[in-house]
Amino acid sequence: MQTLNLLESQSYEYNAFKLFDTGNKENTHRKLALMEQLQCTLELDKILNIFAMEASKYTSFSGLYFTQGDVRTSIRGSKQGNAERQFELKINNEFLGTLTYAINSPISLTNYKILDDLHQYIVHPINNAIQYKSAMSLAMQDGLTGLGNRRYFDKQLKRAMHHANRHKRQVGLVVADLNKFKLINDTYGHHVGDEILKGFANALELSVRDSDSVFRFGGDEFVIIVEEASKESLHVIESRIQSAINASALLTKYHVECSLGCTFMNRIDNEKSFFERADQALYQQKINQPLALSIV
């Protein structure tokens, strides 16, 4: 692996003006324009695409990739090249991530040094984008269970409905809540109640497919968005939820039971009408026959 330490000195202080101290007005103008473009977005893929336009002037590559742990992105149309050249990006000697070029021909020493200079323009925009993505992820996550929260549910429901309408597919909603949860809280305390909520959230996650999404809507109410849905798939989810509850030592210890309500999207639905119909199905199930799935 070829690595490039962008900032070698521990005492380095970032100064944008140092990057343009070249004495060449044309180069300075071009670099200023690049920096301005890179600072106009907090989306990592867009940053990489903007940067690739400049980098492509100095080396031939068929793909450009950035990775940092679970964070992975690439430029549009990236594909495998004849070889790869990897660079470790660092800020103040702290590892930021790996930038990989899928190259079609060797990089000349002159152009290698130019890329060395160009990488200084991308490290801070990339870092800002990663920090922003992390903050947004936390804002969309329920702090107790780790599931998506109400805000994220609203966003994902809109996306799922749009996708279903566009591709003429079926999407379903399963709304679930715990029976007599207030009694459990009052009897054993909120710390036990919190553990039960986390245990039930885990049971729901174990019961769905990778294409489905689970959210904590609020309190002891949870929602599952079921894409590519059918009555059969919903009944399978119901059966798995019951099995997961029975398999949980914590949930069986406190005799946890749940009620489920479900509906399918109508073509005239908006997000509000879709959810309200599923919630009404849940209400009907709670007063009639707990633990059996009600579909309306």
Read off the pLDDT of residues 104-128 as tens digits, 9 standing for 90 and up: 899 999 998 889 889 999 999 999 9
Read off the pLDDT of residues 184-243 as tens digits, 9 standing for 90 and up: 999 999 999 999 999 999 999 999 999 999 999 989 999 999 999 999 999 999 999 999
Q: Is the pLDDT of residue 44 over 80?
A: yes
Residues paired with residue 264 on neighbouring β-strands, in sequence order = 172
Whether 220 sits among the annotated catalytic residues: the reply is yes
Contacts of 138 (CB under 8 A, 6+ apart): none
Q: CATH 3.30.70.270 region(s) of the chain?
A: 150-295
Contacts for 86-89 with beta carbons within 8 Å, 24 or more apart?
86/1, 86/2, 86/3, 87/2, 87/3, 87/4, 87/115, 87/119, 88/3, 88/4, 88/5, 89/4, 89/6, 89/119, 89/122, 89/123, 89/126
Q: CATH 3.30.450.40 region(s) of the chain?
A: 16-139
d(CA 248, CA 243): 9
Q: What percentage of the chain carries pLDDT values higher than 90?
A: 74
Contacts of 125 (CB under 8 A, 6+ apart): 38, 39, 41, 47
Pick the CATH number of 16-139 from 3.30.365.10, 1.20.1340.10, 3.30.450.40, 3.30.930.10: 3.30.450.40
Read off the pLDDT of residues 266-285 as tens digits, 9 standing for 90 and up: 989 999 999 999 999 999 88
Find the catalytic residue in 142, 177, 212, 220: 220
Distance of CA 61 to the CA centre of its chain: 28
Residue range 150-295 in CATH 3.40.50.2300: no
Q: How do beta strands 71-74 and 213-218 pair?
A: unpaired
